[in-house]
Amino acid sequence: MSAGLVKNARGSGWITAAALPWLASLLVFFALPLAGLAALSLTDQSGQVSLANYASLADLASGRLDVLLRTLRIGVIVIIASLCIALPVAYYLAKVVQSPRIESLILLLVSATFLAGPLVRTVSWRGILGVHGLINESLLQLGLISEPILSLLYGELAMTLALTYNVFPFLLFTTYLSMKVIDDRIIAAARDLGASPAAAFFRVVLPLAAPGVVTGAVLVFVPTLSAVLEPEILGGTSSRLMATAIRDQFFHAHNWPLGATLTVVLIVSGTITLMLVALVTSLALRACSHYGLSTGVPSHAK
Amino acid sequence: MRSERHVFLTVMTAAMLVFSLTPLVLVSVFSVNASRFYAFPITGLTLQWYSDLLSDDRIWSSLLSSVLIAVGVSAISTCMGTAFAFVVVRGTGRFWRTASVLGFIPLAVPVLVLAAALQVAFVEIGLPLGYGTVIIGHTIFATPFVVLMVVAQLFRYDWRLDAAARDLGASAVETFRHVTLPILMPSIRSGAILGFLLSFNEWAIAFFTGRGFNTLPMLVYSMQRNGLPPSVLAYSSLIVIFVLAAVLLLLPFVLRMLVRGAAQETT
C-alpha cells in the first residue's frame, strides 16, 4: 500500500512538471495581463479611478454602441455561414467518402489555404470582388449585367464573406473530428430502423457531434471579434468593427484606458452573445421536438 | 436513397473546395500578370513583381525577423505543448481535468485582446518591446494548437507499450526517450510546423508588441495600405506555395493515421 502511495505521488509529480511550464506562462503572460487590462479600463488618462470610459459607451452620438452591435451581429452571421459550409462537408469527409486518400487530400488543401494566414487570404478577395474582378467580369461576359456592380467590394457583404472564408476551417476541423469518432454501426442501425438519411444525420450524427460543433462555433466567433484586417481591406469606411476601434485607441488616439475599456466590453458582450446563441439554439431544438423532430441524444448512444 | 445523399454532400464539398482555392489561385495568377492592378483583363506574362519584391531590402530584413520569431515560437510552444498534452490525456481527478481545460483558454480569447493586454503589461513592467515580447505573445497564441495536435495522437496511444518497456527493465526516462517520444514524433513534428506557420503569418500580436522591426505580415500590411502594389500579389503567391509545401510534408502522416483508423474500424 505504501508502495502504491509512493507511485501515486511520483506519478502526479511527473504531471505537475509537465503542466507547470504552460500553466505558469498562462498565469504570467495571459491571466495577469488581462487582469491588468481590466484594471486599466477603470481609470482615466491621468490614472485616476473613473467609470467615464464605460459611460462614454452609452453616449449614442459616439457611435461606439453601433460598432459593437455590428460586430456581434456579424459574428453570429459568420457562425451560421460557417455551419452551412462545415456540417455537410465534415459529414462527407468523416463518414461518406470511402477513400482515405481523397479524405486526407481535401483536409490538407483546406489546411494549406487556411495556414496562408488572414492577411493573404483577405487581400486575395479583392481580385474577386473588385470592379474588374472575377465576379463582375464573369457576369459581364455572360451578359447578365451590362456594367460592373460597384458595391461588391468595400461593404459588409465583402467583409462578412472574407471573415467566413478566414475562419470556417476551424468549424470544419472540429466537426470533422467529432464525427470521425462516431461508430458507423450507430448510423447504420438508425437507417435499418427506417430513418431517412436526413433524419439519421439530424437525429443521430449531429447530436453525437455536438461537442465538436459547439467548440467550432466558439472558434469561428472569437477571431471575428478581433478582426482588423478584413474590415480595413474589404469593409470600407462604413463597416468599422470593434477591433478597429480598439486598434485606433492604442495607436492613433493613444487613449489606452479607453482602448482597454472597449476590449473588456468586447469580451463580456461576446461571451453573452455566445450564451444567447446557445440558449436560442437549445430552445429551438426543444420546440422542434414537439413536432416529432427531436434531436435528443438516444440514451443508448451515451 | 443513398446516392441522393451523396450527390448533395459531394456537391457541397466540391463547392467548399472551389470557395477555398479560388481566391488563392487567382492571386497567384495575377502575380504574373503584366498589368499593375489586381483586376482583369490579363494582359501578359511578367516576373517583374517578383523581382520588385525580392529586390526590396525591407523584405529580406522582415523575412529574417519573421523566421527568427517563428523558429523561437515553434521550439518553445512544441516543448511546452507536448508536455501539456500528457497532462490533458493522463491527468486524472478534478484538479487536473480543470487544469487541462484552462490550458486551452487562449483559444476563447480574441487575439487582439491578448495583443492589447500584453502591450500594456510589457510597457507597465518596463520590458522593452522587441523580438522577445513578440515571441512570448505568439507562444501564448500558438501553444494550444500544438497541444491539440499532440493530444490527437496521444489519445490513441497504447500505454501497454510503456508498461512493456518498464517490465523489461527500462527506467521511466528511458521509456519516454526510446518508446513514447519516437512513436509520438509525427504529431510533435506537425505541431512544430503548425506553431511555425501560425507565428509566421500572425499580424495583430506582432503589430502590438513588436517595435524596431517589421515581420513580413507587418510589412505587407503597410505596403497594401497604399493601393495594393503588385509585389503584394507576388508575396501572397509565394506564401501560398510555401505553406502548401509545408503542409504536403504532413500528407504521409495524415494518410497513415486515417488508414490505420479505418483498419481499426473494420477489425
Q: Is there a domain that residue B206 lies in?
A: yes
* The three three-digit cell numbers of residue B87, written as one number: 497532462
Cα B164 to Cα B175: distance, rounded to the nearest angstrom: 9
Residue of A nearest to B263 (CA): A100
Whole-number pLDDT of residue A298: 46
Averaged confidence pLDDT in chain B: 86
Is the distance from CB of B208 to CB of B118 less than 8 angstroms?
A: yes
* B262 neighbourhood in chain A, CB within 8 Å: 100
- All residues of chain B having their beta carbon less than 8 Å from the beta carbon of residue A256 are 120
Q: Phi, psi (5° rounding) for residue B33?
A: -85, 140
Measure in Å the smallest separation between the Cα of A178 and chain B Cα atoms.
11
Q: Report the residue of chain B nearest A271, measured CA to CA.
A: B108
User: The domain spanning residue B74 has which CATH number?
Assistant: 1.10.3720.10
Q: Is residue B149 part of a domain?
A: yes
Question: In chain A, pLDDT over 70 holds for what percent of residues?
Answer: 90
Q: Which of A124, A164, A180, A201 to mutate to test the interface with B (most CBs of B within 10 A)?
A: A124
Query: How confident is the model over B117-128, as a mean pLDDT?
Result: 90
At A288 the pLDDT is 65
Q: What is the pLDDT of residues B180-226, one digit of tens each?
A: 888 888 889 888 988 998 999 899 999 999 888 889 999 888 888 87
Spatial neighbors of B202 by CB under 8 A, at least 6 apart, are A117, B111, B138, B141, B215, B217
Give the Cα separation of A18 and B210 in Å (integer): 30
- Asked if A89 and B247 come within 8 Å (Cβ–Cβ), the reply is no
CA of B234 vs chain A CAs: smallest distance (Å): 11
Instruction: Give yes or no for residue B135 having a pLDDT over 90.
Output: yes
Label residue B1 by pLDDT band (50, 70, 90): very low
Class of domain A40-98+168-289+296-301: mainly alpha
- Chain A residues whose beta carbon lies within 8 Å of the beta carbon of residue B99: 19, 23
Return the bridge partners of B33, or none. B45
pLDDT classification of B263: cutoffs 50, 70, 90: low
Contacts of A131 in chain B (CB under 8 A): 39
Q: Answer whether A108 sits within 8 Å of B194, measured CB to CB.
A: no
Q: What angle do CA A242, A247, A253 make, to 5 degrees?
A: 110
The pLDDT, as a whole number, for residue A7 is 45
Which residue in this structure is represented by grid cell 465534415?
A: A90
To probe the interface with B, which of A8, A22, A67 has the most B CB atoms within 10 Å? A22
Nearest to A225 among B110, B117, B207 (CB): B110
Q: Determine which of B4, B7, B9 to mutate to test the interface with A (most A C-beta atoms within 10 Å).
A: B9
Question: A195 in helix, strand or coil?
Answer: coil
In the block, cell 421536438 appears at A289
Mean pLDDT, to the nearest integer, of B111-128? 90
Q: What pLDDT is recorded for position B266?
A: 46
pLDDT tens figures, A109-151 = 998 898 888 889 998 998 888 878 888 888 888 888 777 777 7
Residue B31 belongs to some domain of the structure:
no
Which chain A residues contact residue B220 at CB under 8 A?
Answer: 119
Q: What mean pLDDT comes out for the span A227-254?
A: 83
Range B155-162 average pLDDT: 85
> Using H for helix, E for strand and C for coil, what is the string for chain B?
CHHHHHHHHHHHHHHHHHHHHHHHHHHHHHCCECCCCCCCCCCCECCHHHHHHHCCHHHHHHHHHHHHHHHHHHHHHHHHHHHHHHHHHHCCHHHHHHHHHHCCHHHHCCHHHHHHHHHHHHHHHCCCCCHHHHHHHHHHHHHHHHHHHHHHHHCCCCCHHHHHHHHCCCCHHHHHHHHHHHHHHHHHHHHHHHHHHHHHCCCHHHHHHCCCCCCHHHHHHHHHCCCCCHHHHHHHHHHHHHHHHHHHCCHHHHHHHHHHHHHHHHC
CB-CB neighbors (< 8 A) of A108 in chain B: 247-248, 250-251, 254
Q: What is the pLDDT of residues B6-15, one digit of tens each?
A: 888 999 999 9
pLDDT digits (tens, 9 = 90+) for A254-298: 888 888 888 998 999 999 999 998 888 888 777 766 555 544 444
C-alpha cell at A165: 472564408
What is the reported pLDDT for B264? 54
pLDDT tens sequence across A6-58: 444 445 678 888 889 999 999 999 999 999 988 888 887 777 777 777 877 77
Chain A interface, mutation test: which of B80, B221, B256, most A Cβ atoms within 10 Å?
B80
DSSP SS3 for A7: helix
A108·B12 Cβ contact <8 A? no
Residues 6+ apart with CB under 8 A from A222: A270, B107, B108, B109, B110
Using DSSP's 3-state secondary structure scheme, residue A218 falls into: helix
Predicted local confidence at residue A290, as pLDDT: 57
Domain boundaries, chain A: 40-98+168-289+296-301
Range of the domain at B154: 56-266
The secondary structure element, H or E, covering residue A71 is: helix A64-91
The model's confidence at residue B260, banded by pLDDT at 50, 70 and 90, is low
Distance in angstroms (rounded) separating the CA atoms of residues A165 and A231 = 13
Q: Which residues of A touch B251 (CB under 8 A)?
A: 104-105, 108
In total, the C-beta contacts within 8 angstroms joining chain A to chain B are 264
The nearest alpha carbon in chain B to A137 belongs to B40
Residue A210 has what pLDDT?
86
Using CA atoms, how far apart are residues B167 and B145, in angstroms rounded to an integer? 34
Domain count, chain B: 1
ipTM: 0.84
* pLDDT, average across residues B16-30: 91
Residues of B in contact with A134 (CB under 8 A): 22, 26, 40
Q: Is residue B37 part of a domain?
A: no
Domain contains B145: yes
Q: Is residue B5 predicted with pLDDT exceeding 90?
A: no
Percent of chain A predicted with pLDDT > 90: 21
